[in-house]
């Protein structure tokens, strides 16, 4: 089979994967704390005779760490991270990390995420407050205060640049490397009464959808042309009756 067909098909496979990630990003552009997914593409070189043919790989997906837009809500238990850190929550899969700082207080005083996962402190322990202790004040350093009493501190963690991230639900991620507690809360602090939105640029993502669609059509045309050329060659070089 002509190498042109393989090249065209490999491009279609890569573009289909890219289309799926962009569509998911667009679907979650209003999801609080959602992290966009991107694809890294590289080229696999294959020797065909004396010619080098470049095939497109399906690509490797990764989760973007870019911050999203922060919006003021005024809610006492809404917190946004100002910096590169992540909140930690306790899940069935182990500690997960999130930029979704919407929290709630259970009847027993447990500080939970909106999905019901325990919010963890810097030591990886759940945080408990007094359910009848009054309004909660959260400082930039994450310190939780009720009626002048320090009740605990929100954990903020940094994930190594080499960590491989995988999605957990809509707003949290799992890391193959343990997060490190933030020591410098000036550069990586928290803001009470704010939430961080998705780090999705809807205009850019829609532009990507259009470009991918057009490129997919071009790749399909290239495959069809390669097939036609091969058929013509077979007819021209085949035995005649």
Residue 18: predicted pLDDT:
81
* 44-48, 72-76, 226-230, range with greatest mean pLDDT: 72-76
- Tell me how far CA of residue 89 lies from CA of 174, 193, 199, 207, in angstroms: 10, 19, 20, 35
Q: What is the pLDDT of residues 78-98, one digit of tens each?
A: 999 999 999 999 999 999 999
Q: What is the pLDDT of residues 145-199, one digit of tens each?
A: 999 999 999 999 999 999 999 999 999 999 999 999 998 888 899 999 999 999 9
Q: Report d(CA 173, CA 199) in Å as an integer.
A: 14
Q: Determine if the pTM surpasses 0.85.
A: no
- pLDDT band (50, 70, 90) for residue 9: low
- pLDDT band (50, 70, 90) for residue 206: confident
Share of the chain above pLDDT 70, in %: 75
SS (H, E, C) 137-206: EECCCCEEEECCEEEEECCCEECCCCCCEEEECCCEEEECCCCEECCCCCCCEEEECEEECCCCCHHHHH
Long-range contacts, 205-210 (Cβ 8 Å, 24+): 205/22, 205/25, 205/26, 205/29, 205/36, 206/26, 208/18, 208/22, 209/19, 209/22, 209/23, 209/26
Q: Please, what is the average pLDDT of the chain?
A: 84
């Amino acid at each position: 089979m002509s190498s042109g067909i393989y090249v065209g098909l490999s491009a279609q496979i890569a573009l289909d994967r890219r289309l799926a990630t962009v569509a998911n990003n667009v679907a979650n552009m209003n999801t609080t704390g959602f992290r966009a997914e991107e694809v890294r593409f590289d080229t696999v070189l294959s020797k065909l005779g004396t010619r080098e043919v470049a095939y497109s790989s399906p690509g490797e997906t990764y989760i973007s760490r870019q911050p999203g837009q922060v919006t003021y809500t005024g809610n006492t238990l809404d917190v946004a991270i100002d910096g590169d850190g992540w909140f930690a929550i306790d899940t069935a899969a182990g500690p997960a990390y999130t930029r979704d700082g919407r929290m709630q207080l259970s009847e027993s005083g447990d500080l939970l995420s909106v999905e019901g996962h325990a919010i963890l402190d810097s030591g990886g322990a759940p945080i408990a407050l007094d359910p009848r202790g009054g309004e909660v004040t959260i400082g930039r350093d994450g310190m939780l205060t009720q009626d002048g009493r320090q009740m605990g501190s929100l954990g903020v963690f940094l994930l190594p640049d080499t960590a491989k991230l995988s999605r957990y639900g809509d707003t949290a991620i799992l890391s193959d490397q343990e997060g490190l507690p933030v020591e410098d809360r000036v550069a990586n602090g928290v803001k009470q009464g704010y939430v961080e939105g998705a780090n999705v640029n809807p205009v850019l993502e829609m532009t990507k959808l259009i470009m991918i669609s057009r490129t997919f059509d071009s790749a399909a045309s290239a495959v069809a042309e390669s097939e036609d050329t091969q058929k013509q060659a077979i007819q021209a070089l085949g035995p005649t009756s």
